[in-house]
């Protein structure tokens, strides 16, 4: 069983920064991909950023140049550095990890950006 726990969310003013962390525990070995989705009230869950085991990141167009994803494979952890935040970034951010065709999800952490 795999558990993903996010941390680092909170309230920040527009233009500010936050760093999200995702820590995996349980049966942990070799996630092919780790990443982040976000979901705002009334909206669908959308991909924010993801990174493969080889380290190749992908980003949603809306966050390119502002967000940076990284991972520590030894710790089975992933991070999302968010800068130049805007109110449109307000959402619950959910960590996910993929291994052997199975996708695991965290519970999410709330990010609120005030104008």
Query: In this predicted structure, what is the pLDDT of residue 36?
Result: 98
**Where does the pLDDT of residue 31 fall: very low under 50, low under 70, confident under 90, or very high at 90 and above?**
confident
Q: What is the dihedral of CA 13, 36, 81, 70, to 10 degrees?
A: 180
pLDDT tens, 51-82? 988 778 999 999 999 999 999 888 889 999 99
Query: In this predicted structure, what is the pLDDT of residue 55?
Result: 72
Is residue 27 predicted with pLDDT exceeding 70? no
At residue 61, the 3 state secondary structure works out as helix
Q: ∠50-89-99 over CA atoms, to 5°?
A: 20
Query: In this predicted structure, what is the pLDDT of residue 110?
Result: 98
CB within 8 Å of 16: residues ≥ 6 apart: 85, 113
Among 54, 35, 56, residue whose Cα is nearest residue 46: 35
Q: CA-to-CA distance for 60 and 67, rounded, in angstroms?
A: 9
């Amino acid at each position: 069983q795999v558990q993903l726990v996010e941390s680092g969310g909170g309230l920040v003013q527009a233009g500010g920064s936050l760093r999200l962390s995702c820590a995996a525990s349980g049966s942990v070995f070799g996630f092919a991909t780790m990443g982040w989705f976000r979901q705002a009230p009334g909206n669908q869950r959308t991909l924010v950023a993801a990174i493969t085991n080889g380290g190749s990141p992908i980003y949603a167009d809306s966050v390119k140049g502002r967000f940076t994803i990284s991972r520590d494979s030894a710790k089975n952890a992933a991070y999302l550095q968010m800068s130049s935040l805007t109110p449109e970034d307000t959402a619950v951010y959910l960590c996910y990890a993929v291994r052997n065709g199975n996708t695991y999800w965290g519970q999410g952490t709330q990010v609120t950006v005030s104008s």
